[in-house]
A and B are shown apart, each in its own frame.
Chain A
Amino acid sequence: MSNRVLALFRVSNPMIRKELRQRLRERRAWLLPFLYLLVLSGTVAFCYYMVVQEGTRRGAELQGADIGQAIFYTVLFTQLAVLLLMAPVFSAGAITIEKEQRTLSGLLTSLLTAPQIWLGKYVSALLYLFLLLFSALPLLALSFAFGGVEPMALLKATGAMVLVLASISAVGLWCSATFRRSVHSTAAAYAIVLVLTILTAVIFGILMAHWSASPAGNHQDPPPLYVQAPLFLNPIYPFLSLLDDVDVRKYAYPASSCLLYTAMGLLAAAFAIRRLRRSGEQV
């Protein structure tokens, strides 16, 4: 068993090499990081300008920590939004492209196992997202120059981001294993991201309104678990514990959310590998 796991992860998995080589040959391999960092840099400049303007307008003395925190959270959530938009692009087309260019039969009739094929696709999609994520670390670390943000917050934020992206990529890959065409699998993956991001927030809002209006509703206490539960699936939720806001911290159960995301990613991986094994009809 341990040998099989090692064989799956060893660097010599030809699928990983092939996928990375093909991925980095695409024009978007260098264009996207450039545009991504341009957007984030613009966001940082805009954020700095707004904070300074606001401080000047209020006439209060501007603290470096205020600027540091503003930059940190702005970059963090912009990064999350952009990477959530990009994750399905890289994962949802990964297996469907093999079906569309009629190469999947070559993989399935070789000695590559379905988990090896899946892993090659997954690692390639994820590593590219990580390239974007980590290339923006200097921008996030800019906040240290102003203060107000601890290095632990940066580590927690990066860890949460890695987990969310890993799960969303696994879901995208499951869509890719299930559908025949990239356009359908990408649409399905985006629909899932939208459901996780928006629908969970809407359900939470309805439950919260219902609870607040009830006699049990007490605004001083954190809402009960059943009210918060839909938010556990929201990709923004694991980041709430990082926010230095007492009202927001009431909603933070990051461990539950992280567990849920881990389970979602593992389930998506298992279903995708199972689907890949049975995809002979689609080749």
Chain B
Amino acid sequence: MSDAMIEIQGLRKNYRGIRGLNEFSLRVERGDLVGLVGPNGAGKSTLIKILATLLPADSGSAGVAGVDVAKTPAAVRAAVGYLPDVPGVYQDMRIGEFLEFFADAFRLQEPARSAAVARALAQSGLEERRDDFVEHLSLGWKQRLHLSKTLLHDPRVLLLDEPATGLDPLARIALREQLRQLHAAGITILISSHILADLEDICTRIVFIAEGKNVNEVHPAGAAAGAPGALLHCEIEWEGSTEAAERVLAAIPGAVVIETKGNWRRIELPGGPAQAAALLRAFLDAGLTVLHFDARGPGLEERYRRTFGGRP
């Protein structure tokens, strides 16, 4: 039996003559937290809206929790929680009423209904403000309320479209923590965002999308930094002769200096951790005093720049 919670094959979608998705394929396993990054108009929101049953695809297939999105949208809605970029809330409703309405909209029956509302209030930290009107909440609290509403019916898959848009740093940190907890609880999450540092921090996998196509994939916490032969970025600062340091660097095969500031260099090494260790040893053997040394895989930002740097 397939363990994929999201399975997309050759998805195409055109918007008034503009291509939204072009043969996009993706498989997300149960419990994955997958980030979706790409420039504006790359097709991220279109993909999420198709998975949330808001948009029909022109061709291809998409399934969520083993259910075809086009054939049985109601079953998909029961399994999915969708959070759009702007948290649409009813300003003139009380917080409790807002959650109760959506509990009813997801056909929760008592006592599960009351339990779900109480849990949502606890998750969002709004228990004390149950009778306050939604309009009195800040954007960050509204986002928390909206996320709690999205979780009312215990979805197995969360689809989050730019959930951190407009949030202040503290609200962003809170959201990141909440997503981490949901991921730990076994919920499969697909999240699109422009905030690469957040994605790098929480995602198990990041998919790069451009012009409606899946163009690259990375595993932020995985192989990049640790595998032999993986590309590394090293920062080194030393005390002593610059010429001697340049000679050492020139002797390292494939090493490329990408940034220079006095006796500080950022170097790209194609040989992985072994080559980084060799570089450090060569500096010491040359009699140079190393003040700072840091070797790590290129960050998501760097990978993003490489993938999309040439694109408008």
Which A residues have a C-beta under 8 Å from some C-beta of B? 12, 14-15, 17-18, 21-22, 25-26, 98, 101-113, 280-281, 283
Contact = CB atoms under 8 A, between A and B. Distances in A.
A22 B88 contact: no
Interface stretch (B77-85, B183-191, B192-200): B77-85
B101 A14 contact: yes
B77 A111 contact: yes
Nearest to B159: A109
Contacts of A105: 52, 54, 82, 84, 88
The winner among B49, B55, B93, B104 for most chain A CB atoms within 10 A is B104
A12 B107 CA distance: 10
A109 B69 CA distance: 12
B293 interface: no
Contacts of B86: 102
Interface class of chain B by DSSP? loop
A179 to B, nearest CB: 17
A102 B104 contact: no
B149 A106 contact: yes
A110 B88 contact: no
Nearest 9 A/B pairs, CB to CB: A102-B88, A280-B54, A14-B104, A103-B88, A110-B105, A280-B55, A109-B82, A102-B86, A112-B105
A104 B101 CA distance: 14
Contact of B78 (A14, A111, A113): A111
Contact of A25 (B56, B92, B149): B92
Contacts of A21: 93, 97
Nearest to A15: B105
Given A14-B104, A15-B105, 10 more contacts: A25-B92, A103-B88, A103-B89, A105-B54, A106-B149, A109-B52, A109-B54, A110-B106, A280-B56, A283-B49
Contact of B77 (A15, A25, A110): A110
Contacts of A112: 105
A101 B88 CA distance: 6
A14 B80 CA distance: 20
Interface in B226-267: none
Nearest to B89: A103
Contacts of A280: 49, 53-56
Contacts of A102: 84, 86-88
A111 B105 contact: yes
Given A111-B74, A111-B77, A101 B105 contact: no
A109 to B, nearest CB: 5
Nearest to A110: B105
Interface string B55-86: 11000000000000000001001101010101
A87 to B, nearest CB: 22
Nearest to B107: A111
B289 interface: no
A108 B97 contact: no
A272 B279 CA distance: 69
Contacts of B107: 111
A15 B104 CA distance: 9
